[in-house]
């Protein structure tokens, strides 16, 4: 098996034992990136020399006898929404083209401290607004399973990089499903930690009360190792939870659901769901039951209005957060020829620098926050958010975790929903409630749809700081399905 097809845990062990060097592992992944990037477009920036220098540093630290973590020397792809002092950070937008931040995000800093080797920055929907990575100012990323289809969004570059074996690990951010939905449609694992469990310091903000950094990997254990590496309290983030990181690695190692109470969300199914997705979902629920879990149906009525409430709250916060891109401080500046006012320069810059989806959400959010409409729209949406949190609280009084399909369909063709925002937004129908309540949730592959042979994801939702429950159930599903298939899902054939 080539180095690019090994798990992160395997690579870490090989590097630690001295069987291979971090430089050899990094070079193998750089070669893979060079081979497939023209087809996939997962990366916005790759600097081979910087990558190899990071790897040489890890090898030198180990040679000096320093004790390093389990992921030291393992390559990682980093979503281009986290600031990196040594690489450009664009958030997928022309308004930040070429911008080099003066500091590292906390997640970036912790990756470096853990000895992970950052290969480069991955593509995304502009400012993380989208479900397909078609909204990137730098062109769409393509799904390695079928290059004519989307890899999910907004973290589609990160999911595609892992699915295409360009990296064993990647980072993403999840605001309404932007880790779990891409993971589902590319056949990998994606985790949204508890809100506040991973630091937002240095993360370019979309919706501050929802944005959550999290890991992508090709298996559950690798995702747990990565989450443990960059999680934990950060005094630089006022929303960071001052509590121990849940024991996610131990939970992934346990992988046992015997005696666990699992709730199937009644509201997630039926019309609008692809038959092949529902078939794999119901089979996986039966599998969990056969492994000793107690399965019951749970009703969460407010989940049906989570989507419209989200599309008031998220654009409102986006409208406020993106006001900082004003052509005065950093980033793009258009029309500053000495004849125009600051207001004119600002208007010209934002018109040229923001894409259509970002403009749509700024307009929606500004309207929802405007005088006379605040209570009718934003205020009502926040009340719905409270109802969603109460439904979760009631559900977790009956069960340990909730399960649903991660997304109603498999990956759709590039361009199919580009002119239909409502159809695009429905891709996050099942994932949004966990963001609204701040809960932990993971997507794990659960098979291929009969209609198109494309991956289907199972979503597992747990209470706040119940991240370990997500990993425990996900590992059980992964282990049981791998036994059934005789190998990992991803070995069944991406297009590359």
Name the band, by pLDDT with cuts 50, 70 and 90, for residue 492: low
Name the band, by pLDDT with cuts 50, 70 and 90, for residue 270: confident
Name the band, by pLDDT with cuts 50, 70 and 90, for residue 371: confident
Name the band, by pLDDT with cuts 50, 70 and 90, for residue 487: low
Average pLDDT over the chain, rounded to whole? 96
pLDDT(102) > 80: yes
Indicate the CATH number for domain 3-299+390-492: 3.90.1300.10
Please, which residues bridge with residue 172 across strands? 214
Distance CA 453, CA 239 (A): 41
Annotated domain spans of the chain: 3-299+390-492
Distance CA 175, CA 248 (A): 21
**Among 355, 359, 358, 351, residue whose Cα is nearest residue 326:** 351
Print the SS3 string covering the chain: CCHHHCCHHHHHHHHHHCCCCHHHHHHHHHHHHHHHHHHHCCEEEECHHHHHHHHHHHHHHHHCCCCCCCCCCCEEEEECCECCCCCCCCCCCHHHCCCCCCCCCHHHHHHHHCCCEEEEEECCCHHHCCCCCCCCCCCCCCECCECCECCCCCCHHHHHHHHCCCCCEEEEECCCCCCHHHHHHHCCEEEECCCCCECCCCECCCCCCCCCEEEEECCHHHHHHHHHHHECCCCCCCCCCCCCCCCHHHHHHHCCCCCCEEEEECCCCCCCCCHHHHHHHHHHHHHHHHCCCEEEEECCHHHHHHHHHHHHHHHHHHHHHHHHCCCCCCCCCCCCCCCCCHHHHHHHHHHHHCCHHHHHHHHHHHHHHCCCCCHHHHHHHHHHHHHHHHHHHHHCCCCCEEEEECCCCCCCECCCCCCCHHHHHHHHCCCHHHHHHCCEEEEEEEEECCCCCCEEEEEEEECCCCHHHHHHHHHHHHHHHHHHHCCCHHHHCCCC
pLDDT(486) > 80: no
**Among 437, 392, 387, 386, residue whose Cα is nearest residue 299:** 392
Please, which residues bridge with residue 120 across strands? 46, 77
Share of residues in the chain with pLDDT > 70 (%): 98
Name the band, by pLDDT with cuts 50, 70 and 90, for residue 494: confident
pLDDT(488) > 70: no
Judging by DSSP bridges, how do beta strands 401-405 and 213-217 pair with one another?
A: unpaired
- Write the pLDDT tens digit of every residue in 303-332: 999 999 999 999 999 999 999 999 998 899
Residue range 111-139: mean pLDDT, rounded = 98
**Among 375, 370, 376, 364, residue whose Cα is nearest residue 318:** 364
- Write the pLDDT tens digit of every residue in 55-77: 999 999 999 999 999 999 999 99
Share of residues in the chain with pLDDT > 90 (%): 95
Active-site residue set: 79, 154, 178
Name the band, by pLDDT with cuts 50, 70 and 90, for residue 1: confident
pLDDT(344) > 70: yes
- Write the pLDDT tens digit of every residue in 2-60: 999 999 999 999 999 999 999 999 999 999 999 999 999 999 999 999 999 999 999 99
pLDDT reported for residue 315: 97
User: Two tokens at 402?
Assistant: 């909730």
CB contact set of 309 (below 8 Å; sequence gap of 6+): 380, 381, 384, 385, 388, 436
Residue 448's alpha-carbon distances to 184, 266, 434, 442, in angstroms, are: 10, 23, 24, 18
Name the band, by pLDDT with cuts 50, 70 and 90, for residue 483: confident
User: In Å, how far from its chain's centre is CA 76?
Assistant: 14
pLDDT reported for residue 21: 98
Residue range 437-449: mean pLDDT, rounded = 97
- Write the pLDDT tens digit of every residue in 208-251: 999 999 999 999 999 999 999 999 999 999 999 999 999 999 99
Residue range 280-294: mean pLDDT, rounded = 98
pLDDT reported for residue 77: 98
User: Two tokens at 16?
Assistant: 């630690």
pLDDT reported for residue 352: 97
- Write the pLDDT tens digit of every residue in 388-430: 999 999 999 999 999 999 999 999 999 999 999 899 999 999 9
User: In Å, how far from its chain's centre is CA 295?
Assistant: 28
pLDDT reported for residue 496: 79
């Amino acid at each position: 098996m080539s180095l690019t097809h090994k798990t992160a845990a395997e690579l870490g062990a090989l590097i630690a034992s001295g069987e291979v060097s971090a430089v050899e592992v990094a070079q193998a992944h750089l070669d893979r990136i060079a081979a497939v990037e023209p087809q996939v477009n997962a990366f916005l920036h790759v600097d081979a020399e910087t990558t190899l220098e990071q790897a040489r540093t890890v090898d030198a630290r180990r040679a000096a006898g320093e004790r390093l973590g389990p992921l030291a020397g393992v390559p990682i792809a980093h979503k281009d929404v986290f600031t990196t002092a040594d690489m450009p950070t664009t958030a997928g937008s022309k308004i930040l083209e070429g911008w080099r931040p003066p500091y590292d995000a906390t997640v970036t800093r912790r990756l470096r401290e853990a000895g992970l080797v950052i290969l480069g920055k991955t593509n995304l929907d502009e400012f993380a607004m989208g479900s397909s990575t078609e909204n990137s100012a730098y062109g769409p990323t393509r799904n390695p399973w079928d290059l004519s289809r989307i890899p999910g969004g907004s973290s589609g570059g990160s999911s595609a990089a892992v699915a295409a074996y360009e990296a064993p690990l990647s980072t993403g951010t999840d605001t309404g499903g932007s880790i779990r939905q891409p993971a589902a449609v590319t056949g990998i694992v994606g985790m949204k930690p508890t809100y506040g469990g991973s630091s937002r310091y240095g993360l370019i903000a979309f919706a501050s009360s929802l944005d959550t950094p999290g890991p992508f990997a090709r298996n559950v254990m690798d995702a747990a190792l990565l989450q443990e590496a960059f999680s934990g309290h950060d005094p630089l983030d006022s929303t960071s939870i001052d509590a121990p990181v849940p024991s996610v690695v131990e939970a992934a190692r346990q992988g046992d659901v015997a005696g666990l109470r699992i709730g199937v969300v009644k509201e997630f199914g039926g019309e609008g769901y692809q038959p092949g997705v529902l078939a794999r979902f119901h089979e996986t629920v039966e599998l969990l039951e056969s492994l000793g879990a107690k399965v019951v149906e749970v009703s969460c009525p407010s989940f049906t209005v989570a989507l419209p409430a989200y599309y008031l709250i998220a654009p409102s916060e986006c409208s406020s957060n993106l006001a900082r891109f004003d052509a005065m401080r950093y980033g793009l500046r258009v029309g500053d020829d000495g004849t125009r006012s600051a207001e004119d320069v600002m208007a010209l810059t934002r018109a040229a620098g923001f894409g259509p989806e970002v403009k749509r959400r700024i307009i929606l959010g500004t309207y929802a926050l405007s005088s006379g409409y605040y209570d009718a729209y934003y205020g009502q949406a926040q009340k719905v958010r409270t109802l969603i949190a109460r439904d979760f609280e009631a559900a977790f009084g009956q069960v340990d975790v909730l399960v649903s399909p991660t997304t109603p369909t498999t990956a759709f063709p590039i361009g199919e929903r580009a002119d239909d925002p409502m159809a695009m937004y429905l891709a996050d129908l099942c994932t949004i409630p966990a963001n609204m309540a701040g809960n932990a949730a993971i997507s794990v592959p659960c098979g291929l749809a009969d209609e198109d042979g494309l991956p289907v994801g199972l979503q597992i939702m747990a209470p706040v700081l119940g991240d370990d429950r997500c990993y425990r159930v996900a590992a059980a599903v992964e282990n049981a399905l791998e036994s059934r298939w005789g190998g990992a899902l991803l070995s069944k054939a991406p297009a590359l």
